[in-house]
């Protein structure tokens, strides 16, 4: 029907139905173009440092995450878990596994808008993770949970 409506003379259709058909076709075109715009905007990639955006620029408008105290004391972290977890996931978002070691794209706490003590605590934790993987021959596996990246050991020896 649409083909005949656009390209040819419609002798089959009741002339009184033409305005309704025209409105229906225009509505369909409008809805399809709206869906196309919506879905194309949802598939855009998030900014990435490989695309020339520095981490400092990426987090310039982010909240500065800071915890006062010694993070080696569990009660400090548990008392500030709402600050610690976002800092942890902000940092692990810029990590990867290279030669069975967790490595980071960030060079400083300032780039990620987190306090130096959180940055150093997490870097030391991942140094220990890397050391355990070497000493025990375990493979480090990168996984994702509902918040972001997590790392775990595959404790069966590597081949």
Domain annotation covers residue 159: no
107 and 139 fall within a common domain: yes
**Strand 95-98 and strand 101-104: pairing?**
antiparallel
Does the structure show a pLDDT above 80 at 156? no
How far apart (Å, rounded) are the C-alpha atoms in residues 19 and 44? 38
pLDDT tens-digit map of 124-137: 999 999 999 899 88
Question: Which segment of 35-49, 113-127, 135-149 scores lowest on mean pLDDT?
Answer: 35-49
Residue 56 CB-density burial (10 A; 0-12 exposed, 13-18 middle, 19+ buried): middle
Domain annotation covers residue 112: yes
How far apart (Å, rounded) are the C-alpha atoms in residues 123 and 102? 10
38 and 106 fall within a common domain: no
Domain annotation covers residue 75: yes
User: Across all residues in the chain, what is the average pLDDT?
Assistant: 77
Domain span holding position 33:
2-42
How much is the pLDDT for 51? 56
24 and 58 fall within a common domain: no
Query: What does pTM read for this prediction?
Result: 0.61
pLDDT tens-digit map of 28-83: 676 666 555 655 554 444 444 445 677 777 777 778 999 999 999 999 999 999 99
């Amino acid at each position: 029907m649409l083909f005949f409506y656009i390209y040819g003379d419609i002798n089959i259709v009741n002339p009184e139905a033409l305005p309704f058909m025209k409105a229906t076709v225009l509505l369909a075109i409008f809805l399809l173009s709206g869906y196309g715009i919506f879905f194309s905007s949802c598939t855009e990639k998030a900014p990435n440092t490989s695309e020339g955006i520095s981490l400092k620029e990426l987090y310039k408008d982010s909240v500065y995450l800071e915890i006062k105290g010694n993070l080696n004391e569990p009660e400090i972290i548990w008392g500030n878990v709402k600050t610690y977890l976002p800092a942890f996931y902000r940092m692990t978002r810029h990590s990867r596994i290279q030669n069975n070691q967790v490595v980071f794209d960030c060079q400083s706490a300032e780039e990620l808008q987190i306090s130096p003590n959180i940055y150093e605590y997490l870097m030391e934790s991942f140094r220990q993770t890397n050391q355990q993987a070497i000493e025990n021959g375990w493979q480090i596996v990168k996984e994702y949970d509902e918040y972001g990246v997590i790392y775990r050991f595959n404790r069966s020896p590597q081949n």
